[in-house]
Structure 1
Amino acid sequence: MRKKYRSHLIEKIIAICNRPASPPRMAPMLWAGCVGAVSTLSACITTPSFAADMAMKAPRPAAYQWSGCYVGANVGGGASGSNFDTAVDPGTHLLDPDPAVVATSGSGSHGGDGLIAGGQVGCNWQSGLFVAGLEGDFDYFHSNPWFSNNTNTLSDGVTPFTITQSITTDYLATIRPRIGIAADRNLAYLTGGVAFTRVSYLESYIDGAAPAGIGTAAASKSLVGWVAGAGWENAITDHWIFRAEYLYAGFSKVNAVGAITDAGGGVNTLHGSSDLTVQIIRAGVNYKF
């Protein structure tokens, strides 16, 4: 419509220019003005829509799509904590009330820190702003929470004893659904699922009685627990994605049974146990296929 209007306007200007000038001495000025007007309008016609029109018609770039599968790597730090418990049965080395003294002194809490590093694989499905996914990861994670009563004495107030407990992990793995909200190239999500690890638990006892009592209780076990957390991802390019994540995992108790013995044949059954919680903060990068 704009182009048709400009063509009609040029025709009107040409018609005016063809009229005799009055007075005649104005003819050169009239023709000069006609030539300038026609040239300007012709340039407008030969330019398809103005730049402003073109800008208005330019389509907006499509939002980033999170649907697809990916593989990646991560690194960070983890903090583990444990509640340690001790029990000693009545026997012939420790006589009442010493089993209760040892059990009370040998119970407490402690934590440990460690490096975490590994990889993850998963898939996302996007519908509008909502993104759902499933991810599995496996990380090296060596932690060693331990507890010691330092040096206490048995009920006589003279005989010293020490009881120490520790629990060690070597890896942490999870399988977790994820649900989040996407804002173009940013994704914030919540996650929760199942956690796996393997622990080695050790409790040791020694005292200064005559004869001296020595004992241990140990166990190694694969544990299945729960995990929950949250994270954020940013698509740096269409394929490379940066991420940051926090997870909290909890596991049930590990129980061990051993014995305190002495050279004279005295014996008491020794029980030890420990639970395990893990908190991790890690950063990583994914490659989306």
Structure 2
Amino acid sequence: MNRLVAGAVALGALGAVSAQAADLNYAPRGYTLNQPLNAYSWAGPYLGGTLGYAWGEVGNNPTKPSGITGGIEAGYNWQTGPWVFGVEGDINLTGANDTFAPWKFSNPWFGTLRGRAGYAFSNILFYGTGGLAFGELRGETFGLSESHSTVGWTLGAGTEFGLAQNWTAKIEYLYVDLDSSNFVVTGAKNDYRFGVVRAGINFHF
């Protein structure tokens, strides 16, 4: 009788361990379509932050603002097989500025709202991205300051890596073109076109 009880307990423990081991092979999130249960899943919502460097030029002006940029981002992915589609938005503060002769131009902040499409090799995702951009261009000369917030467009590409069950890291390049505005301090239409290289980390829910 004691052997029968001990055998039943051992079988129960073995079953629990097997179930836990099987769980470890499942995708970290349950939103993926047409995906094997043990494959890495990119699907679902995420939230994270980025840090990078921006450099560009102001139209109709010799200044070339550049500087560190950092911000927060949020998005949502859908996945079918190895194909990943999503939408992502971000808002960033920047230290990009430059002075030439009497003029100084800076870009205090910018944001984007973009679509993403990519191909995943398990926990490595290659993607392209593009959409709406918006931000502020500030001009200064002889103690006078003037700011304009405009919209524009952005295109880019990147690679994202799955580090753990809910964490990913990425490196990304964006080209941003903000529309021109009439600046009184320069007497001209000035826009801002710039590139951004940045790294980011995201938590997937």
TM range (shorter): 0.7 to 0.9
Q: Report if aligned partners of 2:128, 2:157 keep a CA contact under 8 Å in 1.
A: yes
Which residue does 1:220 correspond to in 2? 147
Partners of 2:184 and 2:49 in 1: CA distance:
39
Alignment of 1:208-287 (within 5 A): 219-257=146-184, 271-287=187-203
Q: Deviations over 1:177-220 (max 9, x none)?
A: 0000011000000000111111222345xxxxxxxxxxx87532
- 1:128 matched residue in structure 2: 81
| 1:197-252 deviation digits (Å, cap 9, x = unpaired) | 11222345xxxxxxxxxxx8753211101011001001111201011110010012
Bigger-Rg structure (1/2):
1
Instruction: Indicate conservation of the 8 Å contact 1:139/1:173, yes or no.
Output: yes
Q: Which residue of 2 aligns with 1:9?
A: none
- Is the strand fraction higher in 1 or 2? 2
AA at the equivalent of 2:70? A
Offset from partner CA, 1:71-127 (integer Å, 9 cap, x none): 01111111121133xxxxxxxxxxxxxxxxxxxxxxx52312211111110000001
Q: Given the alignment, which residue of 37, 60, 67 partners 2:43?
A: 67
Aligned equivalents of 1:74, 1:278: Cα separation in 2:
17
Q: Report the secondary structure of 1:110's partner residue.
A: coil
Deviant stretches of 4+, over 6 Å: none
Q: Give runs of aligned pairs for residues 29-178 of structure 1, distance below 5 A.
A: 62-84=38-60, 108-148=61-101, 164-178=102-116
2:136 maps to a residue whose letter is R
Please give the root-mean-square deviation of Cα atoms over the aligned residues, in Å.
Answer: 2.0
Q: Quick one: structure 1 residues 146 and 83, their matched pair in 2 at CA, closer, same or farther if it must change by over 3 Å? A: farther
CA contact (8 A) 1:80 1:145 kept: no
1:39-91: per-residue Cα shift (whole Å, max 9, x none)?
Answer: xxxxxxxxxxxxxxxxxxxxx9722011111001111111121133xxxxxxx
Aligned residues: 170
- Tell me the TM-score normalised to structure 2 length: 0.76
Counterpart contact for 1:167–1:274, Cα < 8 Å:
no
2:132 and 2:44 map into 1 onto residues whose CA distance is 23
Q: Between the two proteins, what is the percent identity of the paired residues?
A: 32
